[in-house]
Amino acid sequence: MKLQHYLGGLEDLGPATFEKRVFVEEWEKGIFGIHTAMMALSPQLPLPATPSTFHTIWTWADLRKGAESLNPFDYFKFRYYEKWLGGISGYFIAHGYITEDELDAKTAEYLADPDKPLPAGGDPAIDQRVEQYLAQGDSPKSDAGPAPVFNKGDTIGVKDVPTIEHTRLPGYLRNHTGVVETVYPGNYGYLCDTGPDGAGPPMPVYCVGFDPQQLWPGNAETNFTIYADLYAVYVTEPDAVPAPVVKAA
Amino acid sequence: MTNRFNYPTDREAHNAARAKALQALLIEKGVITSSTVDTVLQVFETKMGPFNGAKVVARAWVDPAFKERLITDTTAAVAEVDGLPDVMTGAEGEHMRAVANGPGVHNLIICTLCSCYPWPVLGLPPYWYKDPTFRSRAAREPRAVLKEFGLDIPTSTEVKVWDSSAQIRWFVVPERPDGTDGLGEEELAALVTPESMMGVAVATAA
């Protein structure tokens, strides 16, 4: 069990911060740009080849795996883009693009002289592919895979699938029951195979509504429903889970 | 005791130097170019941003049939709005779903697992949306969190919280403010804030 999968519903965290800025430090723009370029240049995408030396897969799933594998104290300790900086630097070191020594040495140079310019150069085809990726996206939709087995209005149970390194099933829903609000047309794959968790190949996705009073009895606000989009592999018959069954409204 | 929560005194200077060092090494090694980061940022300044979502909402306010299509087939409806850039089904907007506020119903978009956000219509997520405290609390006590953000939702109003856990990206169509009958689409769009399109604020007349 990882805290990062069970954030929904945690108590005693104090006030939330209504910070409307996207970036609170100038350097955060750089790591965001690098991450987006990595997604765009990742070799599994059906986009034109470029002279970029990037040759390993990087998707949102890889970024999320990094955040989900952090010590939970570190997850709260580091600001959003600090986590990105750590995860992405670690990826480039682990895959042999750069060494830790190189990164430390270069960091020392920029610490000593923050205004030292970046190196110049690079093939414009690389930036064109980045723009093309942003404009086209990477749709996970597919005609392959099974048909849905539940319909709008059906009560379903949520499995407690094993979690290895990554999931798209929020922890607070596991072993609870909810009511299908929408069966999305077509099937959806996920960015990677999540192993025993089960997401990855194309499958139906259900939008399911849950009663917060069942999720957190006597300890949630009233006159409110929480919905989540659930891959079919996470969903089962309502009597297959331990929680009391919620009837359709 | 560990000193886990002792941050270095030069925390941001070190972060900045490390981010710049990584960018420099990636340029030297041919992974990205010296203009790649700027290219990405430029897209979010000019093509993907809340300025698009505001136009979509304004259209929904003046055209009930469009609003209906926006709710039932969001991605297709967004694509039919004139004057939007050619990125509206691009990254993080391949499949979108809009939900509409109305009398007695208030919607709030969250992502408890990470920070999923509809890039083409809203651009990049602000810090409040990415904050683990917000993500935790909004799932269980949305009215309390909204009140901290300055928005009072009475208990008589139903709250619907949408947790973006799969590949569908969500946004809210806020209610059209009173006293805006004479306004055109462009003036209406100016009233639509990013916060109102995520449900942590409402649109108000200027």
Question: Coil, helix or strand for B173?
Answer: strand
- Which of A51, A89, A137 lies nearest to residue B94, judging by beta carbons? A137
Residue range A142-240 forms a domain whose CATH class is mainly beta
- Band (pLDDT 50/70/90 cuts) for residue A1 is confident
- Per cent of chain B over pLDDT 90 is 95
Structural tokens at position B6: 């002792």
Residue ranges covered by each domain of chain B: 11-44, 48-189
Chain A residues with CB inside 8 Å of B17's CB? 107-111, 114
- Which of B32, B92, B149 lies nearest to residue A126, judging by beta carbons? B32
Min Cα separation A240/chain B (Å): 22
Chain B, residues 135-154, CB within 8 A of chain A, namely: 135-145, 148-150
B35 labelled catalytic: no
Q: Give CA separation, A238 vs A151, A180, A197, A204, A215, in Å.
A: 13, 12, 19, 18, 15
**CA A74 – CA B140 distance, rounded (Å):** 24
Q: Which chain A residue has the Cα nearest residue B28? A: A119
Min Cα separation B181/chain A (Å): 29
Which residue is listed with tokens 């150069």?
A121
Query: Does residue A226 register a pLDDT over 60?
Result: yes
Tell me yes or no: is domain B48-189 CATH 3.90.330.10.
yes
- Band (pLDDT 50/70/90 cuts) for residue B1 is very low
Structural tokens at position B4: 């886990």
B156 labelled catalytic: no
Q: Report the mean per-residue pLDDT for chain B.
A: 96
Kindly name the residue from B34, B35, B114, B136 that is annotated as catalytic: B114
Residue A117 gets which letter from DSSP?
A: P
Query: Does residue A128 register a pLDDT over 90?
Result: yes
Question: Coil, helix or strand for A225?
Answer: strand
Model pLDDT for residues B128-170, shown as the tens digit of each residue: 999 999 999 999 999 999 999 999 999 999 999 999 999 999 9
Q: Report the mean per-residue pLDDT for chain A.
A: 96
Cβ pair A18:B13 closer than 8 A: no
Tell me which residue of B110, B198, B172 sits closest to A172, measured CA to CA.
Answer: B110
Q: Are both A3-136 and A142-240 of the same fold?
A: no
- Band (pLDDT 50/70/90 cuts) for residue A248 is low
Q: What's the pLDDT score for residue A170?
A: 98
Where is B58: in which H helix or E strand? helix B50-62
Q: What superfamily does domain A3-136 belong to in CATH? A: Nitrile hydratase, beta subunit (1.10.472.20)
Q: Give CA separation, B200 vs B48, B147, B174, B191, in Å.
A: 21, 9, 10, 15
Q: What's the pLDDT score for residue B3?
A: 66
Residue ranges covered by each domain of chain A: 3-136, 142-240
Tell me which residue of A92, A66, A88, A59 sits closest to B15, measured CA to CA.
Answer: A88
Model pLDDT for residues A138-154, shown as the tens digit of each residue: 999 999 999 999 999 99
Q: What's the pLDDT score for residue A236?
A: 98
